[in-house]
Amino acid sequence: MRRVATLLLLCAFAQPGLGADAGALVETMKQARLSEGFEARMEVATIASNGRRALPFKLSVTGQVGKDRQRLRIRGISPDKVRGRYVAAERNAEGRIRAIAYDEQLPGNIEKTDPAARLFDSGLVLWDMFGAWWNWPQQSIEGSDKVGGRACTLMRSRTDDGASPVREVLSCVDGNAKLSLRTQLYDRRHTLLRTIAVKQTMRKESGALAAKKLAITEADRTVTEVEVYSGDEHYLVNADTYAPLDNGK
């Protein structure tokens, strides 16, 4: 089923009105991200800068996005390298992200992990999926640009938080599509860490667009292609879904 939920957390949504200021844009963006539960299954393929393709793997991402709390759980589907491996993370009201990793085969063995780390040797990063930059205090509109022939509004988000792995984010938001077509993340020395670009979109039940295909380009020119092939916009989060996260407190 192609009609799937979303890469809600991989891409930012916004609905800027004409002439809306940065604050309003950010606010609608945060609103659009809210979800009581979603699931997206995706195939991830990494291509190194020398052109070598790693064996693609499948992931399931489930999540809940509330005003104060966001939770995510990533499950490796196949092949053996990722099967049964989980990464779960939570972002609290203060903006701190706590991540754990565990394996279906080794119950009870729960380890803390770095939310800014690359997932399963790919360009996917848990930290990016939380879209934390929409909560930063410094937001400004920097003009407009075009990505893949579509016009979008350039938004700059900044933070002075020394603990944040990313200090500045430049997004190009398509107002009508409610989707950031291109997201560039910079560190404190203003070095580009990676660029997340939307290659193909699909329509959600709400009418907004979500990314169906993404390309993540890292500083060393490794490209990670992500394609959502299935999912559910109304995923039923049950007691077990985030149990290890709750137990690990």
| List of residues contacting other proteins (CB under 8 A) | 1-3, 39, 41, 43, 58, 60, 62, 76-78, 83-84, 202-203, 205, 229-230, 232-236
| Shortest distance in whole angstroms from residue 230 CB to other proteins | 5
User: Closer to other proteins at the Cβ: 96 or 234?
Assistant: 234
Is 24:15 a contact under the CB 8 Å cutoff? no
* Nearest distance in Å: CB 232, other proteins: 6
Closest distance to other proteins from the beta carbon of 58 (Å):
7
Q: Which is nearer to other proteins, 84 or 248 (CB)?
A: 84
d(CA 59, CA 82): 8
Measured from the CB atom, is 27 or 43 closer to other proteins? 43
Task: Give the type of residue at 185.
Answer: L
DSSP for 44-104 reads EEEE-TTSPBPPPEEEEEEEEE-SS-EEEEEEEEESTTTTTEEEEEEE-TT--EEEEEEET
As measured in angstroms, the least distance from the Cβ of 105 to other proteins is 13
Residues pairing with 11 in the sheet:
none
Question: Is 43 or 161 the residue whose CB approaches other proteins more closely?
Answer: 43
Q: How far is the CB of 180 from other proteins (least distance, A)?
A: 21
Q: How many CB atoms lie within 10 A of CB 1?
A: 8
- Which helix (H) or strand (E) segment holds residue 24: the answer is helix 22-33
Q: Coil, strand or helix: which one is 3?
A: coil
Q: Which is nearer to other proteins, 138 or 176 (CB)?
A: 176
